[in-house]
Structure 1
Amino acid sequence: MGEIDGGSREERSWTFLSNHGHVLVALSRDPSARLRDIADAVGITERATQAIVRDLESAGYVTKLKVGRRNEYRLHPDRRLRHPAESSTPIKALLSIFD
């Protein structure tokens, strides 16, 4: 068994949110963040972050806006979570946990 506060290496090898969830939370915290900064915060590559943002865009959770030379992201908080077990819950309920 692992330590109570830190846990063993095995216990720390998974999280409750997917990388898609982590990127969504990062965008909700800073809609004008650079993908490089989001990638660093989530702990994934910039390329993986780009793919996730494309997924979120194509599913209607995020709209990318060009502001000068930068991108800004508008979230659509009334969109529902994708898994059938949570499909009646809007993403704003999930995001409110991280405010």
Structure 2
Amino acid sequence: QPRVKELLGELSGKTVVTSDHGNMLGERARPIPIREWGHPDGVYTPELVTVPWLEYESGPRREVVAEAPVDETESGDAVEDDVVAERLRNLGYAE
């Protein structure tokens, strides 16, 4: 993916790229060999159930610093519930 490549070029140290599942990109599913796209219900293929995992190393290791969690409701950065619900619907996680 071009954007992932662009991002990896900006990061030093070890970076891991993953997701919760794969995606069908026109591969044929069984028992009827039709092309599938996305992640259709009831289809279990290696392309869908294998979790993508990419490790990329570039330059010196980044310094990782532990910090206390930020309460977004106090900082004014909280995302409204309706915005969260809409985003979840757009991603297919809510109706």
- Using structure 2 for the length normalisation, give the TM-score: 0.25
Which protein is bigger by CA-based radius of gyration?
2
Query: Going by fraction, where is helix more abundant, 1 or 2?
Result: 1
- Using structure 1 for the length normalisation, give the TM-score: 0.24
Query: Going by fraction, where is strand more abundant, 1 or 2?
Result: 2
